[in-house]
Amino acid sequence: MDDEDKEFEWELCKENVLPLRSGRNCSTLNAVLQPTTECQQSLLKSEKHDFELELRTYSGDDPLDVWDRYTKWIERTFPSRGAGGKFIELLQNFLREFKDDARYTNDARYINWWIKFANNCDDPLEIYSYMFDNALGCDLSCFYEAWTATLEQVGNIQKADAIYKEGYKRIKEPPAKLEVKYQEFQARVANGTVQQNTDIEDDNPPEERTALGQLKGHGKRQKVGTNRVGDAKQSSRGGLGIRPQPLQTQNQGFQIYNENAEPSLVPVQTGEWQTLPTRKQVNRENELQPGPWKTKLPQRPGSVSSISGGQQPSFKVHVEADDTLVTPRKGPVVDNNVLSARKPSKSSADPLNAIRTNTQGAIDQVPAYCKSKIYTGTEEFCFEELRAARYMKEKKEKMKLE
């Protein structure tokens, strides 16, 4: 294929390719974006199966290397991150696999995938808060650069500045790169190119028109113009106008500014955030557990006129049994998204919601087999495949020794 055909193929399919910060290989893209034949599909499936097999049979000192190479291959081979590559699913399993491994807490390869995962979520700040609370990437400048960039996008300039300073104290690598980023950030703030998300109150608000107030007339006929504020008013008293409250400045002591007394914008590492919060935990105030109603409502004194002791009602009052009333359970949530079968909503495709549900395993269930070997990656292996892979690996090692 000549250069003109390659450029033509790229122009037809470039809207389906997601950009990468490291760039993409044009020849690889043209090979991937062309109509695939059965032979090409079988080669891709075979290479993908080899990666899945290596995930289950690797016995070296760096298991993260296999996941890193596999995820990079999926990202390059499937540029649109469609159903064929299952990039998001693989990335979720990758991050969950080494979340509690102390060897990769500050590994740049692992933290960069966390940053890419945060960029695919609806709320990346929640991911960065989770990482900071679990000390993931706190010694690397790339973590603070990504966190502050997101804060700058939403307009939280004060917290971004605090995170820059906190990162400068925590990183264990040369701070030259982070200093350059911080200087560029300060220059953007000084030039006013960053829009801050703060409500600035005006000390001198514009004067409002006084309702039903007396106005001054002009000329012989005492006409009143359209401007009815300022000098046009006859008196500030009377009417239903809005009067500013007098400032209570008397008998107030002089307050000394103390910068240490201000609350810190950097979150505190408590270690309590073990898993990402679920929707049930976020809405726990609005979803109370059902329970019996045992207490009686307080009655207002004197609300009901008392009947004299000598008079008895002519009818018999019905009294029910003293049964406790139980709060009705919450009914199932009805999905009102009619077009979900055609086009899934953004919330259902959000990887953050997916990892929230996947982290909640059944507490009362203990698998009696090596579950991680069966469901690692994006494919499901059977026991026979694992035994055959183990046998072939041992056979190759024996052949090398001979």
User: For 322-341, what is the mean pLDDT?
Assistant: 52
From 66, 32, 42, select the one nearest 377 (Cα to Cα).
66
Q: Is the domain of 30 the same as that of 109?
A: no
Q: Is the domain of 136 the same as that of 71?
A: no
User: For 85-106, what is the mean pLDDT?
Assistant: 87
In a domain, 271, yes or no: no
Instruction: Find the helix or strand (DSSP H, E) in which 292 lies.
Output: strand 292-293
Residue finishing a domain among 139, 173, 196: 196
Does position 219 have pLDDT exceeding 60, yes or no?
Answer: yes
- Which of 255-264, 369-378, 382-391 reaches the highest mean pLDDT? 382-391
104 C-beta neighbours (distance < 10 Å), count:
20
In a domain, 50, yes or no: yes
User: For 343-364, what is the mean pLDDT?
Assistant: 54
Domain that holds residue 40: 1-82
Q: Which pLDDT score is estimated for 110?
A: 95
The string of DSSP codes covering 164-197 is HHHHHHH--S-THHHHHHHHHHHHHHHHT-S---
Q: Is the domain of 54 the same as that of 136?
A: no
From 208, 199, 122, select the one nearest 155 (Cα to Cα).
199
* Strand pairing class (292-293; 325-326): antiparallel
In a domain, 382, yes or no: no
From 150, 96, 159, 160, select the one nearest 120 (Cα to Cα).
150
Q: Is the domain of 105 the same as that of 33?
A: no
Q: Which pLDDT score is estimated for 161?
A: 92
Place of tokens 């000084």: 190
The string of DSSP codes covering 205-240 is PPPPPPTT--B--BTTTTB--S--SGGGBS-SSSTT
In a domain, 127, yes or no: yes
Q: Is the domain of 49 the same as that of 131?
A: no
Distance CA 326, CA 319 (A): 19
Q: Is the domain of 122 the same as that of 156?
A: yes
In a domain, 161, yes or no: yes
Residue finishing a domain among 196, 230, 255: 196
More confident residue, 141 or 301: 141
Q: How large a percentage of the chain has pLDDT more than 90? A: 16
Q: Is the domain of 136 the same as that of 58?
A: no
Q: Is the domain of 108 the same as that of 184?
A: yes
More confident residue, 213 or 341: 213
| CATH code of the domain containing 74 | 1.25.40.430
pLDDT digits (tens, 9 = 90+) for 11-61: 666 666 666 766 666 666 666 666 566 777 788 888 888 888 888 888 889
Does position 386 have pLDDT exceeding 50, yes or no?
Answer: yes
In a domain, 116, yes or no: yes
**How much is the mean pLDDT over the chain?**
72
More confident residue, 287 or 144: 144
Place of tokens 């549900």: 357
Q: Is the domain of 64 the same as that of 108?
A: no
**Entry pTM:** 0.60
Q: Is the domain of 76 the same as that of 36?
A: yes
Does position 200 have pLDDT exceeding 60, yes or no?
Answer: no
Q: Which pLDDT score is estimated for 335?
A: 44
At residue 393, the 3 state secondary structure works out as helix
In a domain, 29, yes or no: yes
Number of domains in the chain: 2
Residue finishing a domain among 58, 82, 106: 82
Q: Which pLDDT score is estimated for 23?
A: 67
Kindly indicate the confidence band of residue 146, based on its pLDDT and cuts at 50, 70 and 90.
very high
Q: Is the domain of 52 the same as that of 119?
A: no
Instruction: For 356-374, give one letter per residue: b (16+ CB within 10 A) or e.
Output: beeeeeeeeeeeeeeeebb
Kindly indicate the confidence band of residue 340, based on its pLDDT and cuts at 50, 70 and 90.
very low
Q: Is the domain of 146 the same as that of 187?
A: yes
Structure tokens at 400: 């090398």
Q: Which pLDDT score is estimated for 336?
A: 43
